[in-house]
Structure 1
Amino acid sequence: MLTFTYPWFGLLVLLPVIMRATPTHLTRQTALRFSHFDKFIEVTGSTPRSGAVVIRPSWWQRALTMLTFLSLVLAATKPVWVGEPIAIEKSGREMMVAVDLSGSMEAKDFVDQQGINVRRIDGVKLLLESFLQQRAGDRVGLIAFGDEAYLQAPVTEDFDTLSLLLEQMDVRMAGAGTALGDAIGVAVNHFEHSESNNKVLLLLTDGKDTTSQFPPVDAAHFAGERGITIYPIAIGDATNVGEEAIDLEMLARIASYTGGQVFEALDGDALAAVYQTLNELEASLFESDVIRPKFELYFWPLLFITILNLLALTFVATRTLYHTRKGANNG
């Protein structure tokens, strides 16, 4: 569809009509002054003319002038070709990933996918890095928690920055304790202004809550009321006892209150399987825009008339040169 950005400039086409109604411009020419003018005319047989004449252009000069004027008016209206509407939709999840950085995550009992024993935190970071690279369409944020919970990165599609922040995270960076409830609280606060209908929290931990100011079960209730789904992922050996024991019962309650599911990841293969399951979660539409491509056309009339004028100038110059040389040869 053709539209004009400044259509009122089209009124300029009336300018020639207005100018036509104004008095004709007279161009002065050299005249001969003679006291006996009447006798001079009688002797020479000449016909007297006005001392000023109207210079009348040839037909092609008038046509070129009119085309130039119309092209400038057309360019001034700034014509734009507007294409068909194109719907752009973004779908995916808004996901927060909370990573336990308590002292127990330093235990070197996590078997990666190559069968090598590594620290729990290193195994988690390695597979989480791979998981993030598969999150096309999702917006992901990062939470670190130990004695307290901190927002490392808000939800974003900038996975390069997320990967860099994840690489810099290490054990005890947020303290040696495990504040599960506070980590859930940070996620809830960050999701508060989200318009997504699919808000997910991945809660990676290898222990039980020890230092939260906000009890994890209460935090889960709070999250569930706000449409946040929590997937707790237990890292390490579930048979551990004492302070290193994983409170699977509490993690299961957290998941059930929010419509999520608890997973156990004893090694790299199990954690990779968990991520694959999470990949199959239904994505939701969180942004939709309609755009109409626009193509500026104002330069086409300018280009056309510029080329036409250059051709006319070339023609006049060539003809003048030809007649000049012809006159010189005849002389």
Structure 2
Amino acid sequence: MFEFTWAWVFLLAPLPWVLRLLLPAADSGEAALNVSFLAELEGLAGRRAKASLPGWRQQLPFLLVWLLLLCAAARPEWVGEPLPLPASGRDLLVAVDVSGSMSYADMRWNDEEVDRLTLVKHLLGDFIEGRHGDRVGLILFGSQAYLQAPLTFDRLTVRTWLDEAVIGIAGKNTAIGDAIGLGVKRLRQRPAQSRVLVLVTDGANTGGEIDPMTAARLAAEEGVTIYPIGIGADPEQGGVLGMFGLNPGLDLDEPTLRGIAEMTGGEYFRARDSEELRAIEATLDRLEPVAQQSTLARPALALYCWPLGGALLLSVLLVLRSLWPQLQQQRSRIYQRLRRRSA
């Protein structure tokens, strides 16, 4: 079906004639002869004199150019039949702990000791970028929870924002309950059976206004599945910190995280090193995508280039027509000069 997207543009069709009536007439600079005895001449000739106004045939090319420009501006399109576009995948929010304890360098990446957040950026970034067909969002939480990236198909941008996360940007404490509450708020409007929250933390709930189990109960009521990931080495594998008697892995509240997973129908994972975190990502990748409600789309082929090209071609021809007498005169002068020189 052919249609104009902006058909109201044709209301501007009388604009040149309106401007001609409102604006003062242009002075052509040519002398005019006023005949006071025109009536007597008409009587002698037996007919009326014709007005020397430009005929409609002379205005027709300019009218055609104006109409072609209006057609191009109205966005002509050839619209096809409605086609269903099935949407598949999950609405997946990733909540990452950026509290002060994530700076502990008790993990290893490429045979080097790195802090917990750096390892999460490397491996969880690959997980986010590989979720083809999913809408992915990012929550960063510390003392408070912030939505860093809303649910989007632009997974590369979400990974970029994860890579730019800084430890302590949301505070030094850990508000697990607030992170879950924010995730539920963002997922509750999405289709059921496709709401997933991946919660990555290395500690216990030490901040925020919502208790983690209360937030998990709300998530279960809204159909949000939570997969908590506890990150951090075991106390005996604490690296340099373990040598000084510091056991950052003891801060992890595994019973609460297991309770959150059981209440929401998810599963709790423990990541003590990069290999375990890779295995966790592989498990999460096996989540079957859920078909969402399909939408109808009508393919449209833009046709504005045809009237626009016609207007441009006709304008060039009009310019050449106006310049043609001058070109002829110039050609005649050159021919006469050549004849004089040859004589």
Structure 1 and Structure 2 fold alike (TM over 0.5): yes
Change (3 A) 1:179 1:167: same
Q: Distance in 1 between matches of 2:248 and 2:11?
A: 83
Q: Give 1:290's aligned amino acid.
A: A
Is the contact between residue 125 and residue 162 of structure 2 (CA under 8 Å) also seen in structure 1? no
- The C-alpha deviation readout for 1:173-212, integer Å capped at 9, x for no partner, is 6235x443333223223435x3354222111123444556
SS in 1 for 2:318: helix
The residue number in structure 2 matching 1:214 is: 210
Q: How many residue pairs are counted as aligned between the two chains?
A: 294
Pick from 198, 201, 204: which aligns with 2:197?
A: 201
Is the contact between residue 176 and residue 205 of structure 2 (CA under 8 Å) also seen in structure 1? yes
Q: Give 1:244's aligned amino acid.
A: L
Change (3 A) 1:99 1:75: closer
The residue number in structure 2 matching 1:188 is: 184
2:297 counterpart of 1:290: yes
Is the contact between residue 107 and residue 119 of structure 1 (CA under 8 Å) also seen in structure 2? yes
Q: Distance in 2 between matches of 1:312 and 1:91?
A: 60
The residue number in structure 2 matching 1:139 is: 136
Q: Give 2:267's aligned amino acid.
A: Q
Q: Give 2:280's aligned amino acid.
A: V
Q: How does 1:53-72 map to 2 (within 5 A)?
A: 53-54=49-50, 65-72=59-66
Kindly state the Cα deviation for residue 72 of structure 1 after the two structures are TM-superposed. 3.4
Is the contact between residue 75 and residue 303 of structure 2 (CA under 8 Å) also seen in structure 1? yes
Kindly state the Cα deviation for residue 268 of structure 1 after the two structures are TM-superposed. 0.6
Is the contact between residue 236 and residue 267 of structure 1 (CA under 8 Å) also seen in structure 2? yes
**Structure 2: gaps (5+ residues):** 18-31, 38-43, 237-246
The residue number in structure 2 matching 1:36 is: none
Q: Distance in 1 between matches of 2:336 and 2:115?
A: 100
The residue number in structure 1 matching 2:308 is: 299
Q: Distance in 2 between matches of 1:278 and 1:233?
A: 11
Change (3 A) 1:287 1:166: farther
Pick from 55, 60, 78: which aligns with 1:83?
A: 78
Change (3 A) 1:238 1:70: same
Pick from 259, 264, 269: which aligns with 1:258?
A: 264
Change (3 A) 1:50 1:277: farther
SS in 2 for 1:83: strand
Identity, in percent, stands at 25
Change (3 A) 1:286 1:96: farther
- The C-alpha deviation readout for 1:73-119, integer Å capped at 9, x for no partner, is 4544556431335867765443332233455544433233x233333
The residue number in structure 2 matching 1:109 is: 106
Q: Give 1:204's aligned amino acid.
A: V
TM-score (norm 2): 0.64
SS in 2 for 1:151: strand
Is the contact between residue 96 and residue 202 of structure 1 (CA under 8 Å) also seen in structure 2? yes
- The C-alpha deviation readout for 1:145-200, integer Å capped at 9, x for no partner, is 3xx33215142546547635654422696235x443333223223435x3354222
Q: Distance in 1 between matches of 2:274 and 2:336?
A: 97
Q: Give 1:175's aligned amino acid.
A: K
Is the contact between residue 9 and residue 76 of structure 1 (CA under 8 Å) also seen in structure 2? no
Q: Distance in 2 between matches of 1:228 and 1:129?
A: 22
Is the contact between residue 139 and residue 146 of structure 2 (CA under 8 Å) also seen in structure 1? yes
**Structure 1: gaps (5+ residues):** 16-27, 34-47
TM-score (norm 1): 0.66
Greater shift, 260-269 or 244-253, is seen at 244-253
SS in 1 for 2:79: coil
The residue number in structure 2 matching 1:275 is: 281
Change (3 A) 1:274 1:67: same
Q: Give 2:202's aligned amino acid.
A: D
Pick from 121, 137, 145: which aligns with 2:117?
A: 121
Change (3 A) 1:316 1:56: farther
